[in-house]
A and B are shown apart, each in its own frame.
Chain A
Amino acid sequence: MIYLNSFLFAGTVCLIGQLILDNTKLTPGHITSIFVVVGSFLDVFDIYDKFVLWAGGGALVPITSFGHLLIHGAMDTVNNFGIMGLFTGMFDLTSSGIVAAIIFSFVFALIFAPKD
């Protein structure tokens, strides 16, 4: 059942992105930025947490979860260590993805030649 929910949620997010891409002049860069902002907005009132409970991995894969994890990490640290958690805890949960992307891209860029 959770696989069906994953499929529906991730598919719907991608479908919305594709509709925006086809019907406006926005580039993929604009769309990913919009989706990150939407993801962090949905976490203000704990809406995205419900999506994660409902769709599991399907809600964690789209880029919206990036914004959700940013604000989530910041809020966890604020609750434990005070207001400065907004600065210290922002990357707590997303650092895995960013660090992995930096390291893999650097290593692969050294190994592989660009294909045109």
Chain B
Amino acid sequence: MDKNKYNLLVKKYTPKESRLYNGLIAFIVGGLMGCLGQLLLTLYSYFLEIPTKQASVFMIITLVFLGCLLTALGVFDKMVSFSRCGLIIPITGFAHSMQSAALEYKREGLVTGIGANIFKLAGTVIMFGVVSAYFFGIIRLIFMGG
């Protein structure tokens, strides 16, 4: 079989990923995550009688807890492979990256395994966040005066 035929054959049997379908799923799942956040925000500020700003702390902790727990149970990876960015972009993706790193390196021990690798994936988010916030903060100080 010559190379061209082989390439055609491979192309024929590679599963096609529809970008429209992926985008739609990410839109719906991400939107539902936003609604869940707003729902938790309303519930916490109503039942605990606290201002919205404090309720947002509870909301973020709840979502991080759910992300970590579902990752540890092994459910979250299946959900991510279905919804892609719909669950990676929300704060649950941050929790997922830390939890999966912690689980993956558990066998290498507490210090050299979990401790050294827990920020392996989430570290980029924190580093770029801090660096950009620092320099944009200086820009904001210059142009807006704080």
Contacts and interface: CB of A to CB of B under 8 A. Distances in A.
Given A7-B32, A61-B34, A45 B26 contact: no
Nearest to B86: A14
A25 interface: no
B65 A104 contact: yes
A88 interface: no
B91 A63 contact: yes
Interface extent on A, as a size class? 35 or more
Contacts of A67: 129, 132-133
B94 A100 contact: no
Interface string A86-103: 100010001011101110
A60 B30 contact: no
A114 B106 contact: yes
Contact of A66 (B84, B94, B101): B94
B116 interface: no
A113 B59 CA distance: 27
B85 A21 contact: yes
Interface string A50-68: 0000011111111101110
A101 to B, nearest CB: 5
Contacts of A31: 85, 88-89
A104 B98 CA distance: 9
Interface string B104-146: 1011000000100010011011101110111011111101101
Q: Which of B57, B101, B130 has most chain A Cβ within 10 Å?
A: B130
Contacts of A18: 22-23, 25-27, 84-86
Interface of B: 17, 19, 22-23, 25-42, 52, 56-57, 59-61, 63-65, 68-69, 71-74, 84-86, 88-91, 93-95, 98-99, 101-104, 106-107, 114, 118, 121-122, 124-126, 128-130, 132-134, 136-141, 143-144, 146
Interface of A: 2-3, 6-15, 17-19, 21-23, 28-29, 31-33, 35-37, 40-41, 43-45, 55-63, 65-67, 70-71, 74-75, 78-79, 83, 86, 90, 94, 96-98, 100-102, 104-106, 108-109, 111-115
The 8 A-B residue pairs with the shortest CB-CB distance, nearest first, are A10-B34, A14-B30, A11-B31, A57-B38, A58-B34, A57-B37, A18-B26, A115-B74
